[in-house]
Amino acid sequence: MLSVIIPSYKDPLLQKTINSVLQNFEGDFEIIAVLDGYWPTLQLEDHPRLRILHLGKNQGMRAAINAGVAVSKGEYIMRTDEHCVFAKGFDSAMLETLEDDWIMTAKRFFLDVEKWEVMNIPPIEYEKLVIDEKYPKFTGHSWKSRNKSRKDKMIDETMAMQGSCWIMKRLWWDKVIGELQSEGYGILYQDSTEMIFKTWKAGGKLMLNKNTWFAHKHRQFNRTHNYSGDLSRSSWEYALKTWRDYYENVIRPKWEI
């Protein structure tokens, strides 16, 4: 079974995201909507596959994901943001190739949340993990040269992901990830960075599945959180302090960047 965990904080699009999962997934799955210290204005629709986990107070995205994983029943776990849509058979396409030591993401399109349709913008496929010295922070950049040189490889290793949608085996989470750490990282950012580095150090891979896709809310639409400024910078600084040496001495040479 696949456990689909959706951490949510005051996002009016949660029900639409749940509906997209229900309409497009094909296998055995459960949805765990983690309400991070709030109740939706409109009550979520009852469904036998939907479980609602309410956190008594706002604890942040990382804690919400941890809480969802803790109560999940599936052999596989998936995280998605609360403002996404999915291709038909998304779960089947992802699970049929997933290996024990992989985190897997998919092609990412952009979602117009007002029209609730995929925008006519090329998707994000490969991403290169770089240090953006302007802020500074770890970030993923669209990797157009790899898109071109490896266009025929439908399941392939990549270097970064947004973090808005991924799947892994529950055993890999338990063995390697453990939980997302809020101390140092803060409650929101750099979760994908933490998981990717932990996975690399344990001998695993971050994989891209181009046989399927999801679409995530385009950045032109408003966020539902106000986590920025000093809190963001503190998270970025902690991630760099924790992983920069490993990135520069091990990861960059491996990827020849």
Digit-coded pLDDT (tens) for 29-68: 999 999 999 999 999 999 999 999 999 999 999 999 999 9
Residue 22 contacts residue 47 (beta carbons within 8 Å): yes
Q: pLDDT over 90 for what percent of the chain?
A: 91
Tokens representing 94 are 């992802």
Of 105, 17, 26, the residue nearest 34 (C-alpha): 17
- pLDDT at residue 100 tops 80: yes
Residue 73 contacts residue 1 (beta carbons within 8 Å): yes
> CB within 8 A of 136, min separation 6: which ones?
236, 240
- pLDDT at residue 223 tops 90: no
Confidence at residue 227, expressed as pLDDT on a 0 to 100 scale: 54
Cα-Cα end-to-end distance for the chain: 38
Confidence at residue 231, expressed as pLDDT on a 0 to 100 scale: 76
User: pTM, whole model, 2 decimals?
Assistant: 0.96
- Find the mean pLDDT for residues 228-256: 91
| DSSP conformational letter for 215 | E
Query: 249 falls in which pLDDT band (50, 70, 90)?
Result: very high
Confidence at residue 252, expressed as pLDDT on a 0 to 100 scale: 96
Instruction: Give the C-alpha separation, 99 to 112, whole Å.
Output: 33
Domain limits of the chain? 2-255
Hey, what amino acid is at 232?
Answer: S
Please report where in the chains the tokens 């990861």 appear, as a residue.
251
Query: 257 falls in which pLDDT band (50, 70, 90)?
Result: confident
- Find the mean pLDDT for residues 248-253: 97
Question: Phi and psi at residue 25, in whole multiples of 5°?
Answer: -85, 150
Hey, what amino acid is at 87?
Answer: A
Query: 89 falls in which pLDDT band (50, 70, 90)?
Result: very high
Instruction: Give the C-alpha separation, 104 to 68, whole Å.
Output: 19
Tens-digit pLDDT profile for residues 140-168? 999 999 999 999 999 999 999 999 999 99
Of 54, 46, 88, the residue nearest 71 (C-alpha): 54
Confidence at residue 221, expressed as pLDDT on a 0 to 100 scale: 74
User: Which ranges of the chain would DSSP assign to H, the alpha helix?
Assistant: 14-24, 61-71, 90-95, 144-149, 170-172, 191-201, 230-246, 252-255
Tens-digit pLDDT profile for residues 40-49? 999 999 999 9
Q: For the CA atoms of 243, 131, 247, 5, what is the dihedral angle to 10 degrees?
A: 60
Query: 219 falls in which pLDDT band (50, 70, 90)?
Result: confident
Confidence at residue 107, expressed as pLDDT on a 0 to 100 scale: 98
- pLDDT at residue 225 tops 70: no
The domain defined by 2-255 folds into Spore Coat Polysaccharide Biosynthesis Protein SpsA; Chain A (3.90.550)
Q: Hey, which residues does 168 pair with through a beta bridge?
A: 77, 103
User: Which ranges of 11-134 would DSSP assign to H, the alpha helix?
Assistant: 14-24, 61-71, 90-95
| DSSP conformational letter for 98 | -
